[in-house]
Amino acid sequence: MTAVPTEARIVTAGFHMSLDGFIARPGGELDWLRFGPDVIEHAADTMRGIDTMFLGRHTYLAQAAHWPNQTGELADAVNNHEKIVFTSHPETLVLTNWPGSRASRSPAAEIEAIRSAPGKRIGVSGGARLFRTMLRDGLIDEIRVIIHPVTLRAGVSPWSGSLGFTLASTEEFDSGAVLHTYAAPPRPTSADSH
């Protein structure tokens, strides 16, 4: 993998997580999330700094059923993004009425094509499988995790294997949730493979 120029666009992954490390209940339910006004404002600020979103197939279908019918600053930001949906069978994905959507097989190929082009940050919105693949392949620069003060005891984990991260900042919300921003592990270089 070639080194990325210093002026390249940042790829940032963001998700909400329970105190015991899950991003959804076992069936994918998100009913445990606590969204106060400050969390919503943070989400809108984050989305205004992004112009391209990477999504897995299931996350895309769930969000495409929701966002086109919403209004407000957050909805406007999300709906105006380019949305690239990753699936091993893009020919079978029916893209909805969500403008700016297209399907692709390879996050690495898409990153290589658009990372050095002018633009804002590239956001990884989900799901867990896409995040794990991109993290494993060194395609993520920054991870933003909002940890909510609830435990689920079981669910969907975004992690696989043992990884080390560098904490860049934290921010508290009125609900008791805390945003942790981490630098991702260094991207593999050609020297790492020898």
> Quick one: pLDDT at residue 6?
46
Per-residue pLDDT of 1-40, as tens digits, reads 444 444 578 999 999 999 999 999 999 899 999 888 999 8
The answer to whether the bond into 27 is cis (omega within 30° of 0) is no
Burial environment of residue 129 by CB neighbours within 10 A (0 to 12, 13 to 18, 19 or more): middle
> Quick one: pLDDT at residue 194?
44
Q: What is the largest CA-CA distance in the chain?
A: 51
Compare 135 and 186 and report the one with higher pLDDT. 135
Per-residue pLDDT of 36-62, as tens digits, reads 899 989 999 999 999 999 999 989 998
Per-residue pLDDT of 90-143, as tens digits, reads 888 888 779 899 999 999 999 888 987 889 999 998 789 999 999 989 899 999
Domain ranges of the chain: 8-19+36-143
What global pTM score does this model have?
Answer: 0.85
Classify 163 in phi/psi space as left (phi over 0), alpha (psi -120 to 50) or beta: beta
Could you tell me the pLDDT band of residue 185, with boundaries at 50, 70 and 90?
A: confident
Is 8-19+36-143 a CATH 3.30.565.10 domain?
Answer: no
The whole-angstrom distance between residue 180's C-alpha and the CA centroid of its chain comes to 14
- Using the structure block, give the residue that is written with the tokens 């919300």: 173
